[in-house]
Amino acid sequence: MNLSSTRSAEFVFTHYALLHLGGRPVGPFSLVCFKFTGGYTMIGYGMVASICEEVPSPRREVPKGLVLSVLATGITGLVYLIPILFVLPDVSLLLSVAKGQPIDLLFKTVTGSAAGGLDLLFLLLGILFFAGVGAITAASRITYAFACDKAIPGHHIWSRVDRRLGVPIWSLRLTAAVNALLACIYFGSSAAFDDITGVRAVFLSTSYGLPVFVSLSINMICITWNAFSMVIFCMPVALPVDASTMNYPSVVFAGFAGVSLLWYLAYGRQHFHGQPLLEGDL
């Protein structure tokens, strides 16, 4: 590492850069935006519940997985970020990077060589690979669950379980194919790709908020937080707002929600009945 330009502990733990980013004045709103960066990173922990049927002792292990995933993410995030802050180059240099992705430049700068930066970047790519395996697994099980309830087109295909592997292989293939197609959007428009990936926080916040809406009196804090976070995730990235700086997750959300509603009205309400209740569930 480039130890000759390391930052002091005082800088790492006490310095606060008053940067006017995106045309916004420095203030509470800036703190809120930074706070939701961590929320965006951790919001997927609820996906652990989608594989309950494949987990031994799910009553004990699934809640444990939910809690430990948040703790593990927080701890590993600090272990990763604090060393970066100690070798952080000039922030204006990082902000000038095209596409707003400065991590490769940061690694190259602090190691003093392109090869060293590439080595560190491959570590991140490895982490992303294994995270992708978990994400595809969870998404495929959700697809499988909807297919079993006849809620999506071609449900008779996506609800098949491979006898040899014991997994819903066709749901897995569908999920992987859709993700691959969505990734291709980046080659046409990086802004559109960022909006599609960014809207996941809005979708998950909605899914977390709806189940507790029926108990509004004891879940008001949860509902308020979800509503507030959805607004923040849809805020423009810079001021003044134009076509290039507009944040479009709200448009993507409305589009997907509209398609889902139309599909339910045209097909789902006649064919979607949900899982049958067992005698012990009544």
Which amino acid is it at 277?
L
Residue reference for tokens 């599609």: 196
Integer Cα distance of 140 and 155 in angstroms: 13
Residue 282 within a domain: no
238 and 268 within one domain:
yes
**pLDDT at residue 24 above 60?**
no
- Find the Cα–Cα–Cα–Cα dihedral 18, 22, 26, 32, rounded to 10°: -110
Is there a single domain that holds both residue 98 and residue 178? yes
* Residue 154, pLDDT above cutoff 70: yes
pLDDT exceeds cutoff 60 at 26: no
- CA 99 – CA 255 distance, rounded (Å): 25
What pLDDT is recorded for position 161? 92
280 domain residue, yes or no: no
> DSSP alpha helices (H): ranges in 87-113?
91-95, 103-111
Count of domains for the chain: 3
Least confident piece of the model among 143-152, 212-221, 226-235, 267-276: 212-221
- Given a contact cutoff of 8 angstroms between Cβ atoms, the answer to whether 231 and 247 are in contact is no
Mean pLDDT of 122-129: 85
23, 238 in Cβ contact below 8 A?
Answer: yes
What tens digit of pLDDT does each residue of 215-263 get?
Answer: 666 677 777 887 888 888 787 777 777 877 788 888 888 888 899 889 8
- Residue 279 predicted with pLDDT over 80: no
In a domain, residue 237? The reply is: yes
Is 68 within a domain?
yes
Q: Which two tokens stand for residue 159?
A: 């609800």
Is 221 within the bounds of a domain?
Answer: yes
For residue 240, is the peptide bond before it cis, meaning its omega torsion is within 30 degrees of 0?
A: yes
CA distance 277 to 149: 13
More confident: 99 or 142: 142
Q: What whole-number distance in Å separates Cα of residue 91 and Cα of residue 244? A: 23
Local confidence band at 4 (pLDDT 50, 70, 90 cut-offs): very low
Instruction: Please state the length of the chain.
Output: 282
Q: Look at the alpha carbons of 78, 82, 84, 85 in this order and tell me if their dihedral is positive or negative.
A: positive
The answer on 171 and 120 residing in a single domain is yes
The residue to which tokens 């969870």 are assigned: 138
Q: Do 229 and 262 reside in the same domain of the chain?
A: yes
Whether residue 203 is found in the same domain as residue 182: no
Sign of CA dihedral 271, 275, 278, 281: negative
Share of the chain above pLDDT 70, in %: 81
Residue 173 has pLDDT above 90, yes or no: yes
- Look at residue 1 in the predicted model and tell me its pLDDT: 46
CB 108 within 8 A of CB 97: no
- Domain extent at residue 55: 1-88
Residue that finishes a domain, picked among 131, 164, 188: 188
CA 161 to chain centre: 27
Return d(Cα 151, Cα 233) in angstroms, integer.
Answer: 28
Q: Quick one: pLDDT at residue 123? A: 85
* C-alpha pair distances (Å), 16 with each of 10, 37, 77, 182, 224: 11, 16, 19, 37, 29
Does some domain include residue 278? Answer: no
**Residue where the block lists tokens 């899982």:** 275
The answer, yes or no, to whether residue 278 has pLDDT greater than 60, is: no
Q: Does residue 23 belong to any structural domain of this protein?
A: yes
Tell me what percent of the residues of the chain surpass a pLDDT of 90: 7
Return the ∠ at Cα 58 (arms to 54 and 60), rounded to 5°.
150
Whether residue 31 is found in the same domain as residue 110: no
CA–chain centroid gap for 37, Å, is 10
Task: Give the pLDDT score at 157.
Answer: 93
- Supply the mean pLDDT for the chain: 79
Q: Cα separations (Å) of 2 from 12, 62, 105, 111?
A: 16, 43, 13, 5
Whether residue 194 sits in one domain with residue 184: no
The better pLDDT of the pair 108, 40 is held by 108
pLDDT of res. 9: 87
Residue indicated by tokens 């076509």: 243
Q: Is the pLDDT of residue 270 over 90?
A: no
Place of tokens 């507009």: 246
Whether pLDDT at 147 is above 80: yes
One-letter amino acid for residue 215 of the chain: S
